[in-house]
C-alpha cells in the first residue's frame, strides 16, 4: 500500500512539475525588428496557446514536455512553423521573426506608417521628426477616456490644461507658457479663433474622434509660423484609407451631478439672435415688446442621458488615384458644477484680503458639439498630387447659472441660525462658436525629383455669438434654513446683452525645395495672410414696472414666475455707442530660407524666418477714447537651428534653438472696456509683442516601435512678456482695470521625462515635467502718510511665476491589452501642481489654484465582425477646483465658514462630479 502511495505521489509531483513548465519568447518583424503585437502563438496538437503582448512577448504556462511544432500567425504576415523541444525546466526563450505576406501588403504597410493612426506609427513620427515633438495616435485617443482634443492633450508631457466652468479641459498650457503663447493648426494650416478677445483657439470645440493623430510641436523650424513661444498644436484629420473602411460608434451616459440635483434650463429656442438695434437700426428706441420672455422661463428637470456618436467613411478609387473620406461627430452632453465663491477686498494697510461675501452657484450646461471633416485627394502620378479638405466645427453651450450671494455683515452667520439678506441671481446664456476651414493644396516634383513645390490656398472663418445673455437679480431674506425671494434689486435688476465677433482669414502658402543631393536640401518659401475681425456689443438695462401704489412687485404675491413681470427699458438705444463695437485687421507677410543637410550621423536644419506684421483697429463708436484708431507695424527676424545626432539605430540627441514671438490679440490693443463678473477689463493700445529665445536639448531612446524614453531640458528667455494685472486707467482717472501689459524680461526653464514601456499585456505611460519661471510686475501696497495721516497707495515690484505655470506636472497611465481576448483598458491619472489663476492688484494677494489629481478610466472589449463595447469614466475622484490666497487676514477667523486652513484663505471651491459613458463601436 505504501509503495502504491509513493508511486502515486511521484506521479503527482511529476505531473505538477510538467504542468508548471513555461514557454516564453518574442515575435518580431523580420525587416524592421519591431515587435509584433497580437500575433497568435499555438503549440500544435495541444490546446495551449496565447497572443503576443504590447512588447511582442508571449508566455504559455503549463506546457507538456516533449517535441512539438510551434505555429505563429498574424494578419498580413506569413505564418511561421518552428520545431521546438520543451524541457522540464530552463526552456530557452524563443525569438521568432515574421515576414510580410507579400509585396503588395508591404507597400500598404509602408504607406500607412506615415499616418500616425497607431501607437507604433506615432513613435516612428517622433523619432524621424526634425522638431522636438510628441504625437498622440488615433488608436490611443480611441481607447482613452477622452472625448475632446482638450482632454486628450492633457496626457502629453509638459502640457497642463485650463478648464472651463463645467470642469472640462479647454486650453493647453505648454511648458508653463500660458495659452496665449501657443497656436493651433489643422493639417498644418493655422486656423482663427472664435474667442471674443484672444487669438488662441479653445480646444474643447474639437471632437477627438475625427483625428488621425494629434501633434504637439515644442520647437520650431524656419518653415513654421513664428508666433509659438510655448509650442504649436497640430490636428491631423483622418485621411482616405487604401480599402473601403467604415468606423462608427454611439454611446450614452450620465453625469453624477444630476443624480444629486436637478438640471436647470430655459427656453433657449426663443432667443433672438439679433438685438432690437440690429433689427431696427441705430435710432430705434426699444420697448418691452421687443424682448421675448422665454429667457426667463426657467425649469428644473432630470436631464436626458448624454449621447455621443461618430461616423467615418473612406476609400480610394480609380486605381488608388482618388481618395475620399467623410468623418462626422456629434456630442450632446449635460454638464455642470456646484461652486462656492467668496468675495474679498484688501482694506486699509492690511496685508491680506478680508472676505466680504459668499456666493453659492449652480451651473447647468447643455453642450452640443458638431464636427465634420471632408477630404478628397487625387494622385495624377508619382510626381503630382492635389488635395482639398474642409473642416467644420461647432459648439453650442446653453448655460444657466443660478447664484445665491450673501454679504458677511451683522445679519449673517452660517451657524444654526443662518440669518441674512441674500441676493438671488439667475443668468441664462447661449454661446455659439464655429470654425470653418477650407484648404486646397498641391505637391509637385520636377526635374527628376530635384525640385519640389508645395502650395496651399486657405480660407478660414471663426465666429462667436452670445445673443440675449440675460441676468435677473432679486433681493431675498433668510430665516434659519428658510430662504425666499422678495423684490428685484434696485439697480439694473435685469440686463440683456448681445455680443458677437467674427474672424475671416485668407491665406496663401508656398514652399520651394531643391534637393542638391541625397544629403542636402535647400528650401525657400513664405505666406501671406489677410485677417479681418469685427466685434459687436449691445446691452440693455431694465427695471420692473412699479405697482399703482409705487411699490415694487413682490415675488410670491404679485408674480410667481419671472415671465409674469413687466419691465421698463432704461436705455432704449441699447448702449450701442460702445467702444466694444469695432473693426480690426491683421496682415502677415512672411518669408524664410532653410537648409537641411546630413554629415554621417549628424542632421542639421537651420535658417531664418522674417515676419512682417501690420495690425490695426477702428472703433466704430468711440466713447471718449483718445485713440479711436490705432495700428502696430513691425518686422521680426527669427533664426533657428536644429541638430539631431544619431547615436545608434535606436537612440539620438536632439538640440534646438529658435526665436519666436507672441503678438497681442485684437481685443488686447483695442482701448475698449468690458464689464466682467467682478472687475472691469480694458485693452492697451501700447501693448508690444513678446520676443523669446528658446533652447532645447533632448535625449531620445526608442527601444522598439511602441516604446520610448525621452529626457530633455529647455530654457526660454522672454523679452516684454504679456501678463494681465490690475492697473489704474489713464483715461478714467481713479478707475482700475484688468489690463494687459509688458513686464521686462521673464525666464522659464525646466526638464521633461517621457517614458513608455510594455510588459507583455501590461504597459505604462508616464511623464513628468518640472518648470520654473520668474517674472517681476508692480503690485499695490498701502501705508499711512506720516505727515498727513492719510492712507496712500504705493507700488512694489514682486517676483512670481508666470501666470498659469505649474512647477510640477505629471501623468501616469496604466494600460492593459489582451489581443487574443479583445481587451483594452486604461487607468489614467494627471497631476497638476499649484499655479496662479488670477493676478491680484495687491501685493501677496494673487489667487492660486490648488494642486490636484484628475483620475479617468476606460475599457474596450472587441468581438467578432468588427464590433466592440467600450466604457469611459471621467473625474472618478470627484476632484474639485480650489482657489486660495497664500495668507489670511485675522478678520476671516470670525467667519463661521471653513475658509482658513494651514495659513491659506479659500476663495473658490468647484465640484463637477463623475461622468460615465458606455457605447458600441463598429469597424469594417
As a whole number of angstroms, the distance between CA 587 and CA 506 comes to 10
Percent of the chain with pLDDT over 70: 93
Grid coordinates 502629453 are at which residue?
156
Residue 730, pLDDT score: 56
Name, in order, each residue with C-beta under 8 angstroms of 386's C-beta and a sequence gap of 6 or more: 377, 378, 380, 440, 441, 442, 443
Q: What is the mean pLDDT of residues 875-903?
A: 91
As a whole number of angstroms, the distance between CA 223 and CA 591 comes to 9
Q: What is the mean pLDDT of residues 376-382?
A: 93
Lowest mean pLDDT among 228-232, 378-382, 502-506, 731-735: 731-735
Grid coordinates 531620445 are at which residue?
700
Rounded mean pLDDT of the chain? 88
27-31, 524-528, 571-575 — most confident range: 524-528
Instruction: Produce one character per residue of 678-690: b if its CB has 16 or more CB atoms within 10 Å, e if not.
Output: eebbbbbbebbbb
Convert the pLDDT of each residue in 804-863 to its tens digit. 899 999 999 999 988 878 899 999 999 999 999 988 889 999 999 999 999 999 999 999
Of 830, 767, 777, give the one whose Cα is nearest residue 801: 777
Q: How many Cα atoms are found within 13 Å in the side-chain-facing hemisphere of 724?
A: 24
* Strand 823-832 with 762-784, pairing: unpaired
CA 646 to each of CA 33, 221, 652, 658: distance values in angstroms, whole numbers, following the listed order:
18, 19, 4, 21
Number of H helices, E strands in the chain: 8, 50
**486-492 long-range CB contacts below 8 Å, 24 or more apart?**
486/554, 486/555, 487/544, 487/552, 487/553, 487/554, 487/555, 488/543, 488/544, 488/552, 488/553, 488/565, 489/423, 492/541, 492/542, 492/543, 492/570
As a whole number of angstroms, the distance between CA 397 and CA 757 comes to 40
> In this structure, are residues 173 and 803 in contact, taking their beta carbons and an 8 Å threshold?
no
Radius of gyration of the chain (CA): 31
Residue 713, pLDDT score: 97
Q: How many Cα atoms are found within 13 Å in the side-chain-facing hemisphere of 744?
A: 12
Grid coordinates 514682486 are at which residue?
798
CA 729 to each of CA 289, 345, 726: distance values in angstroms, whole numbers, following the listed order:
38, 19, 9
Convert the pLDDT of each residue in 594-636 to its tens digit. 999 999 999 999 999 999 999 999 988 877 777 889 999 999 9
Of 617, 616, 656, 664, give the one whose Cα is nearest residue 227: 664
Residue 7's pLDDT band (boundaries 50, 70, 90)? very low
Per-residue DSSP letters for 488-516?
A: E-SS-SEEEEEEEEEEEEEEEEEEEEEEE
Lowest mean pLDDT among 43-52, 360-369, 808-817, 915-924: 43-52
> In this structure, are residues 678 and 343 in contact, taking their beta carbons and an 8 Å threshold?
yes
Residue 923, pLDDT above cutoff 80: yes
CA 674 to each of CA 72, 99, 480, 867: distance values in angstroms, whole numbers, following the listed order:
68, 66, 38, 52
Residue 105, pLDDT score: 33
Residue 414, pLDDT score: 53
Convert the pLDDT of each residue in 166-216 to its tens digit. 888 889 999 999 889 999 999 999 999 998 777 888 888 888 888 889 999
> In this structure, are residues 574 and 286 in contact, taking their beta carbons and an 8 Å threshold?
yes
As a whole number of angstroms, the distance between CA 717 and CA 742 comes to 14
Residue 416's pLDDT band (boundaries 50, 70, 90)? very low
Residue 40, pLDDT above cutoff 90: no
Residue 1, pLDDT above cutoff 70: no
As a whole number of angstroms, the distance between CA 281 and CA 574 comes to 11
- Cα of 755 vs its chain's centroid, Å: 22
Residue 410, pLDDT above cutoff 70: no
Q: What is the mean pLDDT of residues 394-405?
A: 95
Q: How many Cα atoms are found within 13 Å in the side-chain-facing hemisphere of 828?
A: 26
Convert the pLDDT of each residue in 310-353 to its tens digit. 999 999 999 999 999 999 999 999 999 999 999 999 988 999 99
Residue 264, pLDDT above cutoff 70: yes
Residue 116, pLDDT score: 67
Residue 16, pLDDT above cutoff 50: no
Residue 924's pLDDT band (boundaries 50, 70, 90)? confident
Q: Spell out where 346-383 has E strands.
A: 354-381
Per-residue DSSP letters for 190-240?
A: E-----SS-SSPPGGGSBGGGEEEEEEE-S--TTS-S--SSEEEEEEE---
For the chain, report the end-to-end CA distance as a whole number of angstroms: 65
Q: What are the cell numbers at 460?
A: 478660414
Per-residue DSSP letters for 717-775?
A: EEES-EEEEEEE-SSSTT-EEEEEEE-SEEEEEEEEEEEEEEETTEEEEEEEEEEEEEE
Q: What is the mean pLDDT of residues 125-138?
A: 91
Q: What are the cell numbers at 200?
A: 488662441
Give, in degrees to the nearest 5, the angle at Cα 373 between 165 and 399. 20
> In this structure, are residues 238 and 212 in contact, taking their beta carbons and an 8 Å threshold?
yes
Residue 748, pLDDT above cutoff 90: yes
Percent of the chain with pLDDT over 90: 58
Q: What are the cell numbers at 418?
A: 443662518
Of 532, 624, 534, give the one whose Cα is nearest residue 577: 624
Of 636, 638, 591, give the one whose Cα is nearest residue 614: 636
* Strand 231-237 with 182-186, pairing: parallel
DSSP bridge partners of 523: 513, 594
Residue 362's pLDDT band (boundaries 50, 70, 90)? very high
> Comparing 492 with 228, which gets the higher pLDDT?
228
Q: What are the cell numbers at 20?
A: 508548471
> In this structure, are residues 116 and 135 in contact, taking their beta carbons and an 8 Å threshold?
yes
Of 539, 502, 545, 534, give the one whose Cα is nearest residue 276: 539
As a whole number of angstroms, the distance between CA 498 and CA 503 comes to 17
Residue 645, pLDDT above cutoff 70: yes
- The four Cα atoms 863, 864, 867, 868 give a dihedral, to 10 degrees, of 10
Residue 577, pLDDT score: 66
Of 439, 415, 426, give the one whose Cα is nearest residue 496: 426
Total residue count of the chain as it appears in this document: 924
> In this structure, are residues 333 and 379 in contact, taking their beta carbons and an 8 Å threshold?
no
Residue 675, pLDDT score: 61
Burial of 29 (0-12, 13-18, 19+ CB in 10 A): buried
Of 206, 185, 202, give the one whose Cα is nearest residue 193: 202
pTM of structure: 0.86
Helix, strand, coil % over all residues of the chain, rounded to 5: 10, 60, 30
Amino acid at each position: 500500500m505504501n509503495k502504491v502511495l509513493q508511486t502515486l505521489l511521484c506521479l503527482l509531483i511529476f505531473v505538477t512539475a510538467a504542468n508548471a513548465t513555461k514557454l516564453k519568447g518574442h515575435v518580431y518583424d523580420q525587416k524592421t525588428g519591431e515587435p509584433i503585437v497580437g500575433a497568435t502563438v499555438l503549440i500544435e496538437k495541444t490546446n495551449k496557446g496565447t497572443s503576443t503582448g504590447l512588447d511582442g512577448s508571449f508566455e504559455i504556462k503549463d506546457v507538456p514536455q516533449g517535441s512539438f511544432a510551434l505555429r505563429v500567425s498574424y494578419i498580413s504576415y506569413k505564418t511561421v512553423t518552428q520545431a521546438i523541444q520543451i524541457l522540464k525546466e530552463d526552456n530557452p526563450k524563443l525569438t521568432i521573426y515574421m515576414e510580410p505576406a507579400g509585396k503588395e501588403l508591404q507597400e500598404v504597410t509602408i504607406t500607412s506608417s506615415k499616418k500616425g493612426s497607431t501607437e507604433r506609427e506615432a513613435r516612428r513620427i517622433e523619432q524621424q521628426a526634425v522638431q522636438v515633438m510628441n504625437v498622440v495616435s488615433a488608436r490611443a485617443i480611441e481607447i482613452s477616456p477622452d472625448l475632446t482634443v482638450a482632454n486628450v492633450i492633457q496626457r502629453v508631457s509638459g502640457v497642463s490644461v485650463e478648464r472651463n466652468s463645467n470642469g472640462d479641459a479647454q486650453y493647453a498650457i505648454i511648458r508653463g507658457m500660458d495659452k496665449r503663447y501657443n497656436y493651433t493648426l489643422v493639417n498644418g494650416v493655422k486656423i482663427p479663433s472664435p474667442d471674443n478677445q484672444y487669438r488662441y483657439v479653445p480646444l474643447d470645440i474639437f471632437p477627438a474622434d475625427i483625428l488621425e493623430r494629434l501633434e504637439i510641436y515644442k520647437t520650431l523650424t524656419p518653415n513654421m509660423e513664428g508666433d509659438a513661444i510655448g509650442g504649436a498644436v497640430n490636428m491631423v484629420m483622418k485621411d482616405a484609407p487604401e480599402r473601403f473602411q467604415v468606423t462608427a460608434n454611439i454611446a450614452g451616459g450620465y453625469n453624477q451631478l444630476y443624480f444629486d440635483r436637478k438640471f436647470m434650463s430655459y427656453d433657449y429656442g426663443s432667443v433672438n439672435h439679433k438685438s432690437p438695434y440690429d433689427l431696427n437700426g441705430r435710432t430705434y428706441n426699444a420697448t418691452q415688446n421687443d424682448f421675448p420672455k422665454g429667457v426667463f422661463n426657467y425649469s428644473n428637470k432630470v436631464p436626458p442621458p448624454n449621447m455621443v456618436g461618430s461616423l467615418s467613411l473612406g476609400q480610394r478609387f480609380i486605381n488608388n488615384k482618388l481618395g475620399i473620406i467623410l468623418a462626422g461627430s456629434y456630442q450632446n452632453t449635460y454638464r455642470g458644477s456646484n461652486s462656492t465663491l467668496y468675495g474679498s477686498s484688501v482694506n486699509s494697510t492690511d496685508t491680506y484680503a478680508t472676505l466680504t461675501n459668499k456666493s453659492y452657484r449652480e451651473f447647468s450646461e447643455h453642450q452640443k458639439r458638431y464636427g465634420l471633416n471632408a477630404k478628397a485627394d487625387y494622385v495624377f502620378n508619382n510626381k503630382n498630387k492635389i488635395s482639398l479638405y474642409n473642416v467644420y466645427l461647432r459648439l453650442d453651450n446653453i448655460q444657466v447659472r443660478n447664484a445665491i450671494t450673501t454679504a458677511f455683515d451683522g445679519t449673517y452667520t452660517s451657524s444654526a441660525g443662518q440669518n441674512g439678506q441674500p441676493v438671488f441671481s439667475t443668468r441664462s446664456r447661449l454661446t455659439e462658436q464655429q470654425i470653418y476651414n477650407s484648404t486646397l493644396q498641391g505637391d509637385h516634383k520636377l526635374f527628376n525629383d530635384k525640385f519640389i513645390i508645395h502650395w496651399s490656398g486657405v480660407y478660414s472663418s471663426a465666429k462667436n455669438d452670445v445673443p440675449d445673455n440675460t441676468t435677473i437679480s432679486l433681493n431675498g431674506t433668510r430665516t434659519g434654513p428658510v430662504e425666499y425671494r422678495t423684490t428685484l434689486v434696485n439697480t439694473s435688476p435685469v440686463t440683456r446683452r448681445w455680443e458677437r465677433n467674427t474672424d475671416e482669414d485668407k491665406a496663401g502658402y508656398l514652399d520651394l525645395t531643391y534637393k542638391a543631393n541625397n544629403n542636402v536640401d535647400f528650401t525657400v518659401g513664405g505666406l501671406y495672410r489677410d485677417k479681418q475681425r469685427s466685434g459687436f456689443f449691445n446691452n440693455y438695462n431694465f427695471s420692473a414696472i412699479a405697482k399703482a401704489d409705487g411699490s415694487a412687485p413682490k415675488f410670491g404675491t404679485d408674480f410667481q414666475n419671472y415671465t409674469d413681470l413687466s419691465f421698463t427699458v432704461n436705455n432704449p438705444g441699447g448702449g450701442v455707442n460702445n467702444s466694444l463695437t469695432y473693426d480690426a485687421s491683421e496682415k502677415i507677410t512672411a518669408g524664410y530660407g532653410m537648409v537641411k543637410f546630413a554629415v554621417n550621423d549628424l542632421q542639421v536644419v537651420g535658417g531664418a524666418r522674417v515676419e512682417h506684421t501690420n495690425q490695426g483697429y477702428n472703433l466704430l463708436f468711440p466713447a471718449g477714447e483718445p485713440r479711436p484708431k490705432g495700428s502696430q507695424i513691425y518686422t521680426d527676424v527669427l533664426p533657428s537651428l536644429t541638430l539631431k545626432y544619431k547615436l545608434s539605430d535606436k537612440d539620438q540627441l536632439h538640440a534646438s534653438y529658435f526665436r519666436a514671438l507672441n503678438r497681442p490679440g485684437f481685443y488686447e490693443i483695442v482701448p475698449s472696456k468690458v464689464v466682467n463678473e467682478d472687475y472691469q477689463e480694458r485693452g492697451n493700445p501700447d501693448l508690444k509683442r513678446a520676443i523669446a529665445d528658446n533652447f532645447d536639448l533632448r535625449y531620445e531612446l526608442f527601444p522598439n516601435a511602441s516604446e520610448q524614453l525621452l529626457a530633455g531640458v529647455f530654457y526660454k528667455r522672454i523679452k516684454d512678456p504679456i501678463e494681465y494685472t490690475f492697473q489704474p486707467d489713464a483715461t478714467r482717472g481713479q478707475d482700475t482695470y484688468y489690463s494687459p501689459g509688458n513686464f521686462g524680461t521673464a525666464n522659464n526653464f525646466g526638464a521633461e521625462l517621457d517614458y513608455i514601456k510594455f510588459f507583455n499585456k501590461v504597459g505604462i505611460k508616464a511623464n513628468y515635467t518640472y518648470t520654473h519661471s520668474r517674472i517681476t510686475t508692480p503690485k499695490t501696497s498701502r501705508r499711512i502718510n506720516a505727515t498727513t495721516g492719510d492712507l496712500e497707495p504705493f507700488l512694489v515690484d514682486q517676483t512670481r511665476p508666470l501666470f498659469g505655470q505649474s512647477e510640477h506636472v505629471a501623468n501616469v497611465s496604466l494600460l492593459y491589452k489582451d489581443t487574443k481576448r479583445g481587451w483594452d483598458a486604461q487607468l489614467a491619472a494627471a497631476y497638476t501642481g499649484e499655479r496662479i489663476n488670477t493676478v491680484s492688484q495687491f501685493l501677496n494677494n494673487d489667487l492660486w489654484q490648488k494642486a490636484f489629481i484628475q483620475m479617468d478610466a476606460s475599457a474596450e472589449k472587441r468581438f467578432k465582425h468588427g464590433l466592440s463595447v467600450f466604457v469611459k469614466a471621467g473625474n472618478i475622484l470627484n476632484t474639485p477646483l480650489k482657489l486660495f490666497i497664500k495668507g489670511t487676514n485675522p478678520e476671516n477667523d470670525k467667519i463661521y465658514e471653513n475658509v482658513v486652513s494651514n495659513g491659506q484663505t479659500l476663495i473658490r471651491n468647484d465640484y463637477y462630479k463623475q461622468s460615465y459613458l458606455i457605447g458600441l463601436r463598429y469597424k469594417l
